[in-house]
Amino acid sequence: MRAVAVAALAMSTAAACTGSSGKDYAVPKAVCGVPVKSSLLSPLLPDGNKLTERDYDFGPTQPRCQLKVDRNLVVYFSGDVVPAGTDVIAVNERDMRALGHPAAADIGRAARVADRGALAVDACVYGGKRQQFVANIELKQQATDDVPKRRDALRALLKAYLPAAMKDVGCG
């Protein structure tokens, strides 16, 4: 399934430019092999000429990838299947603070959206056991644009990404 999504990403990034926004690349329709609407990802990507994705193989329960625009790391996605009793929000509190003013969000079982990132967790069953899936999105460039709009864009992307990423790793 991921190979198909990566192939689709390669085709979509090789497509014609998007034009009006200053992005001379096609916004992908999948990240880490997970389908996402380009319209949800686009507000978080800067202008530039070329977008590339790099996936990391940390195993089937830990999707990782990064998006670069013109060789600059701009967005990092990660996911993890973790034990059901883990307090994901508490474990990640320091990292979320470093991303700027985290606030609760109504996504999954629990979520936080910060100025430059977002994290959500939801319950699932993996390998016949009750587990949780954690999705994390981090913006890697210091943005100077409208913080409330960026937080809204992160919230919208995470809300769509979390269930799709869970499904992709088989955490149902």
What's the number of domains the chain is made of?
1
Name residues whose C-beta falls within 8 Å of residue 156's C-beta, 6 or more positions apart in sequence: 40
Range of the domain at 108: 2-169
pTM of the model: 0.85
Per-residue pLDDT of the chain (172 residues; tens, 9 = 90+): 443 333 333 333 333 333 445 899 999 999 988 999 999 999 999 999 999 999 988 888 899 999 999 999 999 999 999 999 999 999 999 999 999 999 999 999 999 999 999 999 999 999 999 999 999 999 997 666 689 999 999 999 999 999 999 999 999 9
> What does the alpha-carbon distance between residue 127 and residue 143 come to, in Å, rounded to a whole number?
40
